[in-house]
Amino acid sequence: MVIILFEGVDLLDVTGPPEVFSLVQRESDQPTGYRVRLAAETLAPVTTSAGVRLLPDLTFAQAAAQRIDTLLVPGSVEVDSRRRIHPRTDPAVVEQVRTLAGRSRRVASVCVGAHLLAAAGLLDGKRATTHWSTAPQLAADHPAVRVDPEPIFIREGEVWTGAGISACLDLSLALVADDFGEALALRVARQLVMYLKRPGGQSQFSVPLEPVSTTRRVEELRQHVTANLARPLSVADLAAVAHVSERQLTRIFKAELGTTPSGYVESARVERARQLLEAGDDTLERIATGCGFGTVDTLVRAFRRQLDSTPTEYRRRFRLERGPVVGGGR
């Protein structure tokens, strides 16, 4: 495996995956074959965005002279005077990515490294993801790429793209599972105190991480929703809490949160249900009641709308400790 280095590269993009791959050998009964090497233009130390210097193992020319199993392309950004983020796509680095990709069995980008893959023409006609903050720019700069800002990672053949910086761990676990199976990936995830790799369909966001509203009234309503998920939370109920009309409440939610009051409530309930499914053994009936869905059927329909999954499938994929689960096979 070869990881590309260049000045200003994001440190975790580079160092996160090797931590995952090093644990593979510890958790495996046989040699894994992973050998991580860092490649740069020269063998001189490379300074990362965090100021930490990394020492390359080989030059780009040396890497291009051999076959590469996996090429990992990290990213980097610049922030202008208006605090706008711009991914770095140095033409010299892009050319090296293009060359080395041609020598590789598979190619994976971490975070905004997707911009380097796109600039090298490796994502044309493919679905790809990147950090949510640069996804619009990726789509604008590369119309031939089908940009999806939601997933944690996406695989298109032997080209993989990963989302935000810490998602490099999820992407790495996915590569491990692809190479050695889910069981070994699970053991590595446990050592990392992570959930077993989140599949590419899982969103980068959860309700509590959404942008905070600039309106105090809406923030109070969000807190009210979170604290009262098991209770009725109709538009009329929320309008009464906010002391506004139902029509005005809908306008406020649309303007501040980009959704309807009922849509936000459902998202908050699904988020809470996700947490319960990941962490405990409650039945689907108990979760549906505790989160305010009322019935398991309503819970299942909400999961299908929000996550394109079912509660049982979600629990099966994301629970770290997999004990017996009761509550129906929905």
> Sheet harboring 2-4: ordered strands across?
58-59, 37-40, 2-4, 68-73, 104-109, 159-162, 153-156
Q: Domains in the chain: how many in total?
A: 2
146 is a domain residue: yes
Q: Mark whether 272 and 297 lie in a shared domain.
A: yes
Q: pLDDT (tens digit, 9 = 90+) per residue, 238-284? A: 999 999 999 999 998 888 888 899 999 999 999 899 889 877 889 99
Helix crossing, 216-227 with 235-242: angle to 10°?
Answer: 130
Q: Mark whether 15 and 130 lie in a shared domain.
A: yes
80 is a domain residue: yes
Higher-pLDDT residue of 185, 136: 136
pLDDT greater than 70 at residue 321: no
Percent of the chain with pLDDT over 90: 59
Write the CATH number for 267: 1.10.10.60
| Residue 302 exposure: Cα atoms within 13 Å on the Cβ side | 25
Q: Mark whether 92 and 226 lie in a shared domain.
A: no
Residue where a domain terminates, one of 162, 191, 220: 191
| pLDDT grade for 143, boundaries at 50, 70 and 90 | very high
Q: Mark whether 162 and 50 lie in a shared domain.
A: yes
Q: Mark whether 142 and 251 lie in a shared domain.
A: no
Q: pLDDT (tens digit, 9 = 90+) per residue, 201-250? A: 555 555 544 544 446 778 788 889 989 999 999 999 999 999 999 999 99
Distance CA 244, CA 198 (A): 40
Q: Mark whether 177 and 228 lie in a shared domain.
A: no
298 is a domain residue: yes
Q: Mark whether 308 and 259 lie in a shared domain.
A: yes
Are 270 and 298 spatial neighbours (Cβ–Cβ below 8 Å)? no
196 is a domain residue: no
67 is a domain residue: yes
Residues making up the chain, counted from first to last: 330
CA diameter of the chain: 70
109 is a domain residue: yes
Q: Mark whether 147 and 256 lie in a shared domain.
A: no
Ranges of H-type helices in 43-119? 60-64, 91-101, 113-119
pLDDT greater than 90 at residue 189: no
Distance CA 253, CA 318 (A): 31
Q: Mark whether 142 and 223 lie in a shared domain.
A: no
Q: pLDDT (tens digit, 9 = 90+) per residue, 79-127? A: 888 878 899 999 999 999 999 999 999 999 999 999 999 999 999 999 9
pLDDT at 215: 64
Q: Mark whether 165 and 47 lie in a shared domain.
A: yes
327 is a domain residue: no
Q: Which residue's structure tokens are 């619009």?
A: 136
326 is a domain residue: no
Q: Mark whether 13 and 132 lie in a shared domain.
A: yes
Structural domain harbouring 42: 2-191
Least confident of 40-49, 102-111, 211-220, 288-297: 211-220
Q: Which two tokens stand for residue 26?
A: 């510890």
Residue where a domain terminates, one of 159, 191, 223: 191
Q: Mark whether 178 and 312 lie in a shared domain.
A: no
CA distances from 120 to 55, 123, 169, 330 (A): 25, 8, 24, 43
Are 129 and 170 spatial neighbours (Cβ–Cβ below 8 Å)? no
Residue where a domain terminates, one of 191, 224, 259: 191
DSSP letter for 321, please.
S
Average pLDDT (165-175) is 84
Average pLDDT (315-330) is 50
Burial of 329 from C-beta contacts in 10 A (0-12 / 13-18 / 19+): exposed
State whether residue 203 is helix, strand or coil: strand
Ranges of H-type helices in 229-260? 235-242, 246-257
Nearest to 96 by CA among 114, 76, 77, 116: 116
pTM over 0.85: no
Percent of the chain with pLDDT over 70: 89
